[in-house]
Structure 1
Amino acid sequence: MALSWQYEAPDEAETTAGKLSSAELIEALKAAGDPTRLRLLMLCRRCELSVSELTWIIGQSQPRVSRHLKVLCDAGLLNRYAEGTWVMYRLALQGGVAPLGRLIDELLDVEEGETSEILERLEEVRNRRRAVAQSYFSRNAEHWSEMTRLQVSEREVETALHAILGWGRLGDMLDLGTGTGRLLAILAGRAETAIGVDINSEMLGVARQAIDRPDFEHVQVRQADIRRLPYGKASFDLITAHQVLHYLDDPDVVVREAARVLRPGGRLVIADLLPHDMEQLKTEQAHRRLGFSDEEIESWFETAGLETGESVKLSGRPLPVGIWSAVKPGNQGKQGQ
């Protein structure tokens, strides 16, 4: 069974907030009508970038670049996100003027002398990020190898997840504790938008490499506490939590928070360890819980107002894995459409 999909761009009606007035369109065009801001739009469509990275790529002072970024954010062409002490920028995916930013980038001649040089500097930034991500992997190689040896193979877990999710569209997706971004990258091809959140800034750097692909402009990662998500009620159609709850003292809080931001008809899917007796993992790998039973997970679903769905058990060596799903009562969102 092939585990790859071609990303299909969402319909215009799903990515915009409706028609713009002539005044709104003129203001957006004014915001974009500057050589530096045109290049900032081009760069921020290709990946998320910090102010310092954009300053280096553009070759202008940070105050000047920050002013240009503010104009673009105020116009709704860019989104701005705090990540610890960093501020990241990305081309807006939603909102009335979002299609304008994409159109501008598509019309811009990337072979033009200065524009081509800027894209070369962008590639240098990406190469630095890859080196940092590889360094993190190298420092934690022993941990990754040990957990791979103990658990069910990633391929088995992913195949079981696909069986539960089916093969239709997934709507707007949120991956909790996204880690390396592997699950985000695997499922994002069927999502309208996909966001991975993690509290660890180094892990976010690794995840950004996993989604650094031309067909993943609808995929983003954000720094956030999964117990207090920075999203409003009913924001997502699918929420996943893959091997993250056993690191928490209060995983039930995460389930309730996921239910809050889940749309009616949306699904929560948890993949985590089943009960085991390897107590050394608490001291060696910072596990807080030695797995979860069906009864425990299902009680959290019920408390959060979710209806328990399909579940799967996978035998591990020696750590078994469970996959549990739940649905928020109400009309179905974008999934499967």
Structure 2
Amino acid sequence: MIESVRPNNNRRAGVDELVACLRASGETTRIRLLALLKEGELTVKDVTSILGQSQPRISRHLKLLSEAGIIQRYPEGAWVYYRLGDSGSAAVARTILSHADPDDPVLAADRERLEALRRAKAEEAAAYFASRADSWDQERNLHVPDAAVEAAMRRAVGSKPFDSFLDLGTGTGRLLDLFQDQYSRGIGIDASQSMLSVARANLAKAGVNNAQVRQGDIYALPIPPRSTDVAVIHQVLHYLEEPSRAITEAARTLRPGGRLLLVDFAPHDLEFLREKHAHRRLGFSHEQVARWLDDANLDLVKQQDLCPEEGKSEQLTVTLWLAQDRRIATDLPVADPTQELA
């Protein structure tokens, strides 16, 4: 089950906020809506199919809950996704829902329809992934196994838990799953709605309940500054016209002392990757990336080359660069990464 972020138990609501929350929540359809959104983010179309009510009626209920600060809305192209928020009002709503009988016939039927909807979306995502599997498999065969790369990434980040994780170019959501045991709340950003559908299905299947995915531009992230502990750009830079600009934008989101992990190819001469796989850059040198990191006010603390296995000289080298924000952490307040920029 996907719940956008792990609830913050320290959030409290004032008297006015409590009253607004209770007024907004005190209606049968809205309780059903909140119970659904507690399980994961949904669109108006999703909710209408589950509750069997008209789009205007559902939109009105969502508007009232949004105005009360209980739920949040995230536009994504022509769609808008709704989720239970992380405000004091949302905390009150979660408390109310914790007292709901899970065997209540109405809520149980809603959950069954939600699961049926998720299964249908998972099948669509699987079909999308399968249609591109040959291309992706060809690229994966060009370098050391994914398992080796992921193990190196885990070693680079270390085993200590941290609060916020940002995956840029999240694709299938794999890294949100890989690191989900270390972060409290994760966000994946991708420009492709189709890939976000795949990611949502994968996260739901894996039971990752402390992450959300959002559509966004890697050059203009919908993430506030000073809000991220660990950011990762994994096998994305070679698709970009301006990799250095993406690095600078990622650095903007880091808290003082926050870390950025880059993973990409070392320089190579496989021109067919430009022609058939839309690669803009044929790898990156240590010096080039170090310069970009320095320009972004980040200190390079580690770099590692994952070279081809013996007897597989035709494979590419994958390089990891771990950098750290050079500002010293202070007691100044930092932003919540789940809140979008105005």
Q: What's 2:89 paired with? A: 97
Q: Count matched residues.
A: 322
Q: What is the aligned counterpart of 1:329 among 312, 315, 326?
A: 326
Relative to structure 1, the CA distance from residue 154 to residue 249 in structure 2 (aligned partners, 3 Å threshold; closer, same or farther) is same
TM-score, normalised to structure 1, is 0.91
Pick from 250, 253, 257: which aligns with 2:249? 257
**Is the counterpart of residue 54 in structure 1 residue 54 in structure 2?**
no
| Residue 174 of structure 2: aligned partner | 182
Q: Match for 1:80 among 73, 76, 79?
A: 73
- SS of the counterpart of 2:185? strand
Letter in 2 for 1:322: T
Aligned to 2:31: 38
Aligned to 1:275, the other structure's residue is in SS state: coil
- Quote the Cα distance in structure 1 between the aligned partners of 2:294 and 2:138: 34
Which residue identity is paired with 1:109?
D
Aligned match of 2:338: none
Matched position secondary structure for 2:180? helix
Displacement of 1:58: 1.0
- Look up the match of 1:294: 286
Say whether 1:22 aligns with 2:15: yes
Tell me the alpha carbon deviations over residues 6-56 of structure 1, each in whole angstroms, 9 at most, x when there is no partner: xx967623xx2xx32212111111111111111111111212111101111
Deviations along 1:123-171, one digit per CA (max 9) or x if unpaired, are: 1110111111111111101112111211211111111111111111122
Identity %: 41
Q: Give runs of ≥4 in structure 1 deviating > 4 Å.
A: 8-11
1:271–1:295: structure 2 CA closer, same or farther, 3 Å change rule?
A: same
CA positional deviation for 1:331:
3.5
How far off is 1:73 after superposition?
Answer: 1.2
Given that residues 45 and 217 in structure 1 are in contact (C-alpha distance below 8 angstroms), is that contact kept between their aligned partners in structure 2?
Answer: no
Counterpart amino acid of residue 118 in structure 1: D
Give the Å deviation of 1:315: 1.1
Tell me the amino acid that sits aligned with residue 185 of structure 1: D
SS in 1 for 2:141: helix
Alpha-carbon contact 2:257-2:328 (below 8 Å) kept: yes
Look up the match of 1:171: 163
The reply to whether residue 118 of structure 1 matches residue 136 of structure 2 is no
Structure 2 residue ranges without an equivalent (≥5): 335-342
Distance in structure 2 (CA, Å) of the matches to 1:174 and 1:167: 17
Q: Does 1:274 align with 2:266?
A: yes
How far apart are the structure 2 equivalents of 1:11 and 1:71? 22
Question: Could you give the per-residue CA deviations for residues 52-97 of structure 1, whole angstroms, max 9, x where no partner exists?
Answer: 01111111110110111111111121110011100101111x2222
Q: Distance in 1 between matches of 2:215 and 2:127?
A: 20
| Residue of structure 1 equivalent to 2:129 | 137
Structure 1 segment 106-255 matched on structure 2, within 5 A: 106-212=98-204, 216-255=208-247
